[in-house]
């Protein structure tokens, strides 16, 4: 059934592909009961769309966590919703029931989200918001009203505190200078435990000359909400425009968030709309210099751009932050950081934008001491990274979940990411200062973690596999192979730096077993008997680990495990691994089948946002996007990360792709074609 549905979908896409814009996702089919918002973000602040006019579903801040909600562990904090507003025309407030011809559009090239509609015979309205790329804590919304007859409008910016925040305080200030008047709508509150202070502020940017701006009025509604508003007459046939700029920051980001948030908003006001948008667009133009261009498949092109757009949106250069599986699209998985980052998102970001990837590995480096304490508490040496990580780097997995104490492969995933960062950048100074401490400490962990039961039997027992349905098993294929890679890379790094490596590392690596079943298929773990699998495990030994390189063995493992993936409850990455391997093995059509099967069944309306599983409701799943992008970059594109940098290996395109061009790769911004 799964294959039939996919084939039907692909036929539909083939018939309708001419309508697909490579950069814009547009919808007029806005059903609030079946609506999954799309995110505009800049790596620090994410704004999630709503089907309601002038409403934003939520504002999510990176790097700010507090203990509340699910699992008695830290959680992402919602910030003040600083872009919500209302618009009245001739005394009537606009809502979803009073508008027609509503359209919403995500412009991925410029990272903007636009909603437009008609309000009866009185006006056409449009608004566009941005999470400004060059200003990490600042957002902007443009509003345009074209009058069809003489009308009077009232526009209001409404500042509302999320329910979880406490001790909310609201302020309104008007700064009057000879050259400018600045109205500041500001709110501050404490996080649920009082650990952090959260602040937000915004202001109007009017187009009128100074002294002719509308009069702004402040209204206090209750402790959790206040607003500022203005009124204006608009004559028939004319267009009136205004802008709201605002900022949000917490004490996790700045020692004085209340004053700083107003400074940032004033900065935006005095920069002005045009300069703000010019810098924003320039920043995104630079990001899109690293691009994937597919000729012959417009829908895949649009989908790939969407995946790239979301990963670019969820990561920011110059930070020590790393994205969660849902990025800045909401509070999924509490905003925690998993192997999703290192194994799935990181490789794609690394080859496209090493400067973004650097922030992700810096996140782990700054939490290395916490990983060492974690290893100590479990009786091991070196550093043991937590399965779920947040602000401090301690284990944040809810106690009832078994993954926290036992999903140890995360430690190797972190080390492999650090090694790959060096391979791509060839930055020996970074390797010495930050990569080596990670690689050596994680290698020490594995040397102490194995149980030395004789030659070829340095077992790694009692783990949760990469395939998480396999809990508390021995000698998991991916865990063992990743540990071997960790030990080997630490040894190579030592030699590059002129450091004598611990000889025990390679000794241990050479004795960690990779199990086989009677028919020669690589065995997922010691007691595996052919059960269904949640996600790729054994097949990861071929890519990305390169533990298995023989094409016949890769094919044998593929043929076995691709039939063990059920239709429901499995994440998007598994089929992406299959696609990558088949593309490298020369089977472009099978690769294309699994490329589409990885994400098409997971799409949600109206913006084709990816959920974690088929029929899932928790978009946007950045992990899946990272996996699918790897199938394009490393699969169809043949890119390979090696100690010599990025090279291109043999690969095959699907028949319906005329060409594949990958630009801006690595530090040298190279171009690759297929």
Distance of alpha carbon 252 from alpha carbon 63, whole angstroms: 7
Instruction: Find, among 128, 142, 10, the residue nearest to 596 by Cα.
Output: 10
* Diameter over CA atoms, the chain: 88
Please answer whether residues 104 and 278 qualify as being in contact, where contact means their C-beta atoms are separated by less than 8 angstroms: no
Instruction: Find, among 311, 299, 84, 324, the residue nearest to 202 by Cα.
Output: 84
Enumerate residues 6+ apart whose C-beta is below 8 A from 215: 230
Find the angle CA(236)-CA(239)-CA(243) to the nearest 5 degrees.
Answer: 145
In the residue annotation, 58 being an active-site residue is answered as no
**DSSP letter (8 states) at residue 538:** G
Please answer whether residues 524 and 477 qualify as being in contact, where contact means their C-beta atoms are separated by less than 8 angstroms: yes
Of these residues, 317, 468, 471, 492, which one is catalytic?
468
Cα–Cα distances (Å) from 416 to 291, 322, 354, 596, 641, in that order, read 25, 16, 15, 28, 11
571: its two tokens: 């994440």
Secondary element (H or E) of residue 403: helix 403-406
Query: Beta 603-604 vs 239-250: how paired, if at all?
Result: unpaired
Distance of alpha carbon 1 from alpha carbon 532, whole angstroms: 17
Distance of alpha carbon 639 from alpha carbon 651, whole angstroms: 9
In the residue annotation, 612 being an active-site residue is answered as yes
Q: Is 281 strand, coil or helix?
A: helix
Distance of alpha carbon 583 from alpha carbon 245, whole angstroms: 46
Distance of alpha carbon 78 from alpha carbon 161, whole angstroms: 9
Distance of alpha carbon 164 from alpha carbon 77, whole angstroms: 9
CA torsion angle 383 384 387 388 (round to 10):
-40
- In the block, residue with structure tokens 């000359």: 209
Count CA atoms within 13 Å of residue 119 on its CB side.
Answer: 25
Radius of gyration of the chain (CA): 26
415: its two tokens: 């080390």
Please answer whether residues 543 and 578 qualify as being in contact, where contact means their C-beta atoms are separated by less than 8 angstroms: no
Distance of alpha carbon 218 from alpha carbon 220, whole angstroms: 7
Enumerate residues 6+ apart whose C-beta is below 8 A from 540: 343, 466, 478, 481, 577
- In the block, residue with structure tokens 């608004």: 127
Beta-bridge mates of residue 74: 67
546: how many CB neighbours lie within 10 A of its CB?
12
Active site residues: 468, 612
């Amino acid at each position: 059934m799964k294959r039939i549905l996919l084939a039907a979908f692909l036929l539909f896409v083939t018939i309708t592909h001419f309508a697909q814009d490579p950069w814009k996702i547009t919808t007029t089919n806005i059903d609030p009961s079946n609506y999954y918002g799309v995110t505009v973000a800049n790596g620090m602040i994410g704004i999630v769309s709503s089907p309601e006019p002038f409403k934003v579903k939520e504002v999510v801040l990176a790097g700010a966590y507090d203990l509340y909600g699910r699992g008695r562990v830290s959680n992402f904090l919602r910030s003040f919703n600083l872009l919500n507003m209302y618009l009245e025309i001739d005394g009537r407030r606009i809502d979803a029931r009073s508008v027609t011809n509503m359209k919403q559009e995500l412009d991925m090239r410029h990272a903007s989200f636009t909603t437009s509609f008609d309000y009866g015979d009185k006006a056409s309205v449009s608004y566009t918001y941005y999470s400004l790329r060059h200003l990490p804590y600042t957002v902007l919304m443009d509003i345009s009203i074209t009058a069809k007859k003489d009308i009077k409008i009232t526009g209001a910016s409404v500042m509302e505190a999320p329910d979880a925040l406490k001790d909310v305080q609201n302020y309104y200030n008007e700064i009057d200078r000879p050259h400018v008047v600045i109205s500041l709508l500001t709110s501050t509150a404490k996080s649920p435990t009082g650990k952090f202070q959260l602040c937000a502020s915004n202001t109007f940017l009017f187009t009128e000359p100074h002294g002719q701006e509308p009069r702004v009025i402040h209204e206090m509604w209750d402790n959790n909400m206040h607003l500022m508003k203005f009124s204006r007459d608009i004559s028939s046939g004319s267009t009136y425009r205004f802008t709201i700029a605002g900022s949000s920051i917490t004490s996790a980001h700045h020692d004085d968030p209340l004053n700083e948030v107003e400074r940032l908003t004033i900065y935006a006001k005095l920069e002005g709309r045009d300069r703000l948008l010019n810098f924003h667009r320039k920043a995104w133009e630079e990001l899109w210099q690293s691009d994937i261009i597919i000729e012959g498949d417009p829908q895949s092109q649009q989908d790939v751009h969407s995946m790239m757009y979301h990963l670019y949106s969820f990561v920011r250069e110059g930070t020590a932050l790393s994205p969660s599986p849902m990025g800045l699209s909401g509070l999924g998985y509490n905003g925690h950081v998993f192997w999703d980052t290192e194994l799935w998102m990181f490789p794609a970001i690394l080859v496209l934008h090493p400067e973004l990837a650097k922030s992700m590995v810096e996140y782990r480096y700054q939490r290395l001491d916490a990983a060492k304490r974690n290893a100590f508490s479990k009786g091991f040496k070196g550093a043991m990274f937590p399965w779920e990580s947040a602000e401090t780097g301690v284990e944040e997995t809810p106690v009832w979940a078994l993954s926290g104490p036992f999903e140890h492969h995360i430690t190797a995933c972190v080390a492999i990411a650090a090694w790959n960062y060096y391979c791509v950048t060839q930055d020996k100074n970074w390797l010495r200062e930050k990569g080596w401490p990670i690689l050596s400490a994680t290698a020490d962990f594995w040397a102490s973690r194995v149980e030395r039961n004789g030659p070829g039997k340095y077992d790694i027992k009692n783990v949760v596999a990469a395939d998480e349905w396999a809990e508390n098993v021995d000698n998991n294929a991916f865990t063992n192979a990743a540990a071997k890679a960790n030990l080997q890379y630490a040894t190579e790094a030592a030699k590059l730096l002129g450091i004598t490596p611990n000889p025990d590392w390679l000794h241990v690596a050479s004795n960690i077993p990779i199990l086989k079943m009677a028919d020669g298929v690589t065995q997922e773990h010691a007691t595996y008997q052919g059960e269904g699998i949640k996600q790729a495990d054994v097949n990861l030994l071929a890519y990305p680990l390169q533990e298995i390189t023989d094409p016949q063995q890769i094919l044998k493992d593929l043929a076995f495990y691709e039939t063990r993936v059920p239709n429901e409850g499995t994440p998007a990455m598994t089929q992406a691994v299959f696609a990558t391997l088949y593309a490298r093995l020369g089977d472009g059509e099978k690769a294309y089948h699994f490329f589409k099967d990885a994400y098409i069944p997971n799409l949600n309306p109206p913006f084709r946002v990816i959920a974690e599983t088929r029929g899932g409701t928790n978009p946007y799943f950045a992990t899946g996007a990272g996996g699918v992008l790897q199938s394009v970059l490393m699969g169809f594109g043949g890119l390979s990360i090696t100690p010599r940098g990025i090279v291109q290996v043999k690969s095959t395109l699907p028949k319906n792709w005329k060409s594949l061009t990958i630009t801006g790769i690595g530090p040298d911004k190279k171009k690759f074609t297929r």
